[in-house]
Amino acid sequence: MFDELKLGSVAASGYQQTGTADSRVRGQNESRVYKKRLLSLFPDESDLGSVPYKEKRPLINTPDYDANSAKKECRVFKEYLQRLFPIPQQLEGQLCYRIRGYDSDFGTYYKVSILYDGNNLEAFNFACKIELVEFPANWDEIARKELRSLGLSSALTNLD
């Protein structure tokens, strides 16, 4: 459904990526249209953070913070959550994971969120289960390997 939604917004806009500055602006506009459609479908959002809760988080106001690395780490975290908590077949189209950037005085930081339809009790319960009951403490081995392959070994510092 999400691929169709994204493709539909691009097709409806009539824009094509050509690599020019003008097309990049149009691409950003298409992305905004996609996000607005996504949020209109899923008005409720739970912030899941950027890493498992016992792992070291990238701190935006430190000299070694790199927004690109933080975004890559969020991608690994999102994939990890999707492995731990795959969206059940009966809830497909009612929930989705997303990486979201937030602007601050120090730059952009990223978090993983789960968007869901709060009018659907089963979708709401699924999102709450992740956020409040079964949130992971540490990276699994697959995520650790992925972080190492991306050169993000510093993200593997456990806070215990």
96-110 pLDDT per residue, tens: 999 999 888 888 899
> Largest Cα–Cα distance in the chain?
52
Q: How far separated are the first and last CA of the chain, in Å rounded?
A: 40
Q: What is the pTM of this model?
A: 0.72
Most confident listed range (4-8, 41-45, 78-82, 117-121): 78-82
Domain boundaries, the chain: 1-41, 43-156
Which residues are paired to 44 by β-bridges? 116
Cα 29 to Cα 10: distance, rounded to the nearest angstrom: 10
